[in-house]
Structure 1
């Protein structure tokens, strides 16, 4: 299957665009600030983190390995000689950190700057000449297993192999493309292999040059953040240092809103391109800015315009974003005709609609059901009056009640969590007042977090759809509904397993007289526990009904993270179960039998096993004929899975009535909803979840069973 060959090439590029490099030859731009950061982070972590961790030799080894891996994840820079030189500090980092000494960091960083310069020479020299495509050789891209190059020559050869793999992939793609064109038009003139090969190398060269432009844009603080995250990450995978700019993105992601023009931007070479307009945003409403346009200059109202060509993307965005009601003037090169014009936009609050709750109504066997998509547990910490997931969920349920639905299906697939507060409030919509989750600080007894509102927003049947990427707050909500016997949990075998609570703390709060912005620490301060006493950490929530999916055999989840906290238990909270359904076991068993005997789910299970095999196979042939043959063999085998997700439930999903007037004002919203409804109709997991929902029978009145 082609996927196997495309992913490594993309990863090859993206690894470096996400890493923290710097072109500034100065090893330490602000030594005082760096030492203050180390000192204050040390204080915060040792006193506030959930885990009481010793800064000892084991800690040093973790930071040593993590930092080097953070700089050189694909082992394209350092050699074994370099690692040996770094190793003199392998067991001393803990002692250095206690003294706010960053000698280890400076040594590795200094060497890395040298390696970056060498890298540009490597790829430039290698890509000048054609590769030997008949040579029998392979490359292994399992970077966790392969050793660092023994010497410089071996390192250069590994560069050669990686660049050759990229080039081979591009040649094969172009050959396949022109073969397809020739089938449609026999007069089409195909290029020779040598012509395709030359063009492929040129494309790879261009990609590398653009990559290193992005690398050189990054500054010392970007780079030092990688080291800090190696240090704080030694406590657990979810504890991270956030530069002030990263904190801004975090807040935006949590709230689902920002203030600006409502455009997604991307750096291509030295230019800032508009890649998408947010539907309903200021730029979308103004109507002149379009996807593909290039922003050349930015001016604040009547001020002189600032040239942003060549500016790093983060800095350019700072000038383009701004408070609601302010004016920004963009000098733009239009994609369509290449003309240059000035576009004036009044900034406003931009809501990222893909973040928010949405619902649909579907009729099955003469009865109506509501489907609610909850992509994350969002909240705006700075504006409590702004919409959040709990308020929106309550509204959506009321709207669906107006539609006379008889059951609710809540889709939590791929929901990575968010606000614990809103998770508790949403759980409270389906139960009387009572405990929802337990949280525990280091060395203290667990605290029970309750729903304190006796009102039940929805008393009807409830099914919750999850997968292996449902995490954190999703797991709290699903676990509570499972422990109360309030809902059927259906989907992946188990959810992600993130049972820890993080708090975002301004570092300056712990060093109040320091004038420079030190950023933020997202620190694990608590663990989640279900009301039945078990942690969601590592284990997640096991579905009442497990359905095979593409993730079934993949290695990911909290249990696969290095340094993840362990599963444990606390005493059970005092709660009563709602014995909501008279036929819970019968419905669950019926679904399990239906899934086990369904050919489409059997095929999904086979497909999942095959995907796991592909994931584990990290070796690629660099002989062109073998590469193509291997690709063809995989494509041929993959044909048996062509129909794996081809499904049509024949169900008609519709928007709730309240949305219909909105479509007249916003055609894009209608188009988005239509696409979603089509997707729902072809989703076999939604179909099976609706089967379960339609078969559940409520007890009347609902019984309360003592636990």
Structure 2
């Protein structure tokens, strides 16, 4: 029903907006990037969706227009290193008109702004390159402001050039302090700036449109997002934790596509024909000619290599160690479905001594709440999902590993599938409600685990940090509300909103897409070119639209406030810069009625004892005191906006910091019985110390002992 309503709205909107697009205002001296009809259509669709179906149900008006303009300019030039004050004054003409323009699909204004930016960007880089070999006085007492975000816009080209000359000097000072001689430093910096120009020249209208739509949707709320077709594909791959391709990580190096890593178990690995360091200079499908991809953008080249499982791709390779003038090797690979294991749930068992007794703790790290919905719908019995993976890990921890407790590490877990959060909670409770969802009409739906029995009923902890968000907060909040475990870490992010992914192609009448295809293929309608199939139909991308809010079973929203830990650890992330409560367009916190659930236990008395034991440890902990000082130093440095350009003074400052850092490391190593290290020594992976994890293990050991006493 919803799809039919949306289809009717957008068909009417598209048919009503077939007027000739407004002529693009051009910027002299550069190749202007221009919007296309497809982007105009998408813009109209997004406006209609926001005004009719967004949780906020707001009107895209002059106020929104003003916010979009500010966000867009900030996205392009956050540190005010490119635009002039006169440019900003010129852009004021669009302050209250972007809303009307977006409603009709007129993108001429934001593209004009981008083209001005592009001109300034290239002008400043050209100036910088031209002045790299100037004679600089590195004993001069001058200063470079690297962060101009809160400073006035620069008023003249001469003043802008002065900023960039100081930037060049600063980067030359850095190279000199790193031991690079004058000639090599000039060559290195020239290549750096030339590469920036090269990458800028590869930007297309899809890149520009993505920045525009980010500014637009960001003015609505932080989590309503538009994804262009390439980004939509990447987003959905991340959610499924799988891709279809050859199984290799690629990177661009000197305009050539290079294999950075071959995925173990993937088709490239099994073929033994591709290796890290090989360069790919041409791509062809099973039939057809090779396309030379030297100089291509990384994403465009990758799109040619990826493809449906079972299909063949042919690659023209210059093997690692061979000169680029060598005769290329032709390699054929059958694409397969690749599971991204490094981004899936994994386990580790650690033993900790407490009061003279060893305790085995199983740590399950969950990077996201993922589910391969496509494979599940297709009936694949081995489809990938967080809950399925964790279930297998818990079986091993209970059986083979015989752990005394389990910790779920949700640090840096930004969320994902709500159903996975519900199902995962079900592994730790008998059954019952897990989350409440309030929709745009104000109606509240309760979703829960309907499968009786818990897979793990022993001591349980959840480790969270400031970047733990969305579905992760639903899981942590449910565990806390049920009294099922201890939450350890920092206040979480506070993302308590629900997004619905919408494929924009499914909202447009196919006949309109056919007409649009003729625009794309010939530049005008009625060209006579036949649109043959789905591959000829323009892809419009996807919008993730905020349509509802999350609430815990205790009635409290996770929005804005997140989940407060039972045992609080210092935050590595600045609380005033990371989190929902730092976003001006974020929805507020509120409450709904408490749902009908039965807590597993009342842990309030045990939590009080755990806090006392934790606080006592922190009083004596060198790691804790060092971390608190480090965080204070980081906060102080984050407020700095300038740096000296006097080489001797800068070297002295950095040497002092290095000495202090080495002294700190060796103090901590001595406290752990480890040998000291010298400057330049590499610390073994096994010797890296995770304070948050270490204290979590100690809390869990306390938990096990207190539970035994009870």
Shorter-normalised TM range: 0.7 to 0.9
**Secondary structure of the corresponding residue to residue 44 of structure 2:** helix
1:621 is aligned to: 644
> Pick from 204, 214, 219: which aligns with 1:219?
204
Moved more, 456-465 or 631-640: 631-640
- 1:164, CA displacement in angstroms? 2.0
The unaligned stretches of length 5 or more in structure 1 are 1-20, 176-195, 651-674
In structure 2, relative to structure 1, the CA distance for the partners of 1:564 and 1:152 (3 Å cut) is: same
- 1:554, CA displacement in angstroms? 6.6
Which whole-Å CA distance do the structure 1 matches of 2:329 and 2:665 have between them? Answer: 48
Residue 417 (structure 2) pairs with residue 419 (structure 1): yes
> Pick from 385, 389, 393: which aligns with 1:388?
385
Which whole-Å CA distance do the structure 2 matches of 1:222 and 1:454 have between them? Answer: 49
Which whole-Å CA distance do the structure 2 matches of 1:369 and 1:118 have between them? Answer: 58
In structure 2, relative to structure 1, the CA distance for the partners of 1:348 and 1:240 (3 Å cut) is: same
**Mapped contact 1:535–1:567 kept (Cα < 8 A):** yes
In structure 2, relative to structure 1, the CA distance for the partners of 1:470 and 1:391 (3 Å cut) is: same
Which whole-Å CA distance do the structure 2 matches of 1:615 and 1:237 have between them? Answer: 24
**Mapped contact 2:405–2:704 kept (Cα < 8 A):** no
**Secondary structure of the corresponding residue to residue 494 of structure 2:** coil
Residue 226 (structure 2) pairs with residue 241 (structure 1): yes
Per-residue Cα deviation, 1:253-285 (whole angstroms, up to 9, x for no partner): 111111111111111222111111222222122
2:394 is aligned to: 397
- 1:316, CA displacement in angstroms? 0.9
Which whole-Å CA distance do the structure 2 matches of 1:304 and 1:646 have between them? Answer: 60
Residue 187 (structure 2) pairs with residue 198 (structure 1): no
Which whole-Å CA distance do the structure 2 matches of 1:252 and 1:103 have between them? Answer: 33
1:17 is aligned to: none
> Pick from 236, 239, 249: which aligns with 1:251?
236
Residue 78 (structure 2) pairs with residue 64 (structure 1): no
- The TM-score normalised by the length of structure 1 is 0.84
1:685 is aligned to: 692
**Mapped contact 2:172–2:186 kept (Cα < 8 A):** yes
**Mapped contact 2:39–2:540 kept (Cα < 8 A):** no
Which whole-Å CA distance do the structure 1 matches of 2:247 and 2:122 have between them? Answer: 38
> Pick from 369, 379, 398: which aligns with 1:377?
369
> Pick from 341, 354, 378: which aligns with 2:342?
354
In structure 2, relative to structure 1, the CA distance for the partners of 1:458 and 1:649 (3 Å cut) is: farther
In structure 2, relative to structure 1, the CA distance for the partners of 1:445 and 1:24 (3 Å cut) is: farther
Per-residue Cα deviation, 1:258-315 (whole angstroms, up to 9, x for no partner): 1111111111222111111222222122223222221111232354322111111111
2:527 is aligned to: none
> Pick from 90, 97, 102: which aligns with 2:107?
102
Which whole-Å CA distance do the structure 2 matches of 1:648 and 1:685 have between them? Answer: 17
- The TM-score normalised by the length of structure 2 is 0.84
Moved over 4 A (4+): 643-650, 697-701
- 1:552, CA displacement in angstroms? 6.0
Which whole-Å CA distance do the structure 1 matches of 2:623 and 2:704 have between them? Answer: 27
Residue 563 (structure 2) pairs with residue 531 (structure 1): no
- 1:243, CA displacement in angstroms? 0.6
Which whole-Å CA distance do the structure 2 matches of 1:276 and 1:554 have between them? Answer: 37
1:272 is aligned to: 257
1:153 is aligned to: 158
Per-residue Cα deviation, 1:325-361 (whole angstroms, up to 9, x for no partner): 2222322222224354233322211111111111123
Residue 622 (structure 2) pairs with residue 590 (structure 1): no
> Pick from 49, 53, 59: which aligns with 1:54?
59
**Secondary structure of the corresponding residue to residue 109 of structure 2:** helix
1:28 is aligned to: 34
Which whole-Å CA distance do the structure 1 matches of 2:575 and 2:358 have between them? Answer: 38
Per-residue Cα deviation, 1:181-216 (whole angstroms, up to 9, x for no partner): xxxxxxxxxxxxxxx123212211101111221111
Which whole-Å CA distance do the structure 2 matches of 1:580 and 1:359 have between them? Answer: 28
Matches within 5 A, 1:422-501: 422-492=420-490, 494-501=491-498
**Mapped contact 1:549–1:604 kept (Cα < 8 A):** no
Matches within 5 A, 1:125-140: 125-140=130-145
Which whole-Å CA distance do the structure 1 matches of 2:620 and 2:548 have between them? Answer: 43
2:590 is aligned to: 568
Moved more, 349-358 or 509-518: 509-518
Per-residue Cα deviation, 1:661-707 (whole angstroms, up to 9, x for no partner): xxxxxxxxxxxxxx98x47x843332322222223259999x9xxxx
In structure 2, relative to structure 1, the CA distance for the partners of 1:294 and 1:152 (3 Å cut) is: same
Which whole-Å CA distance do the structure 1 matches of 2:651 and 2:706 have between them? Answer: 61
- 1:24, CA displacement in angstroms? 7.9
**Secondary structure of the corresponding residue to residue 139 of structure 1:** strand
**Secondary structure of the corresponding residue to residue 234 of structure 1:** helix
1:186 is aligned to: none
**Mapped contact 1:416–1:471 kept (Cα < 8 A):** yes
2:91 is aligned to: 86
Matches within 5 A, 1:502-517: 502-513=499-510, 514-515=512-513, 516-517=538-539
Which whole-Å CA distance do the structure 2 matches of 1:229 and 1:700 have between them? Answer: 49
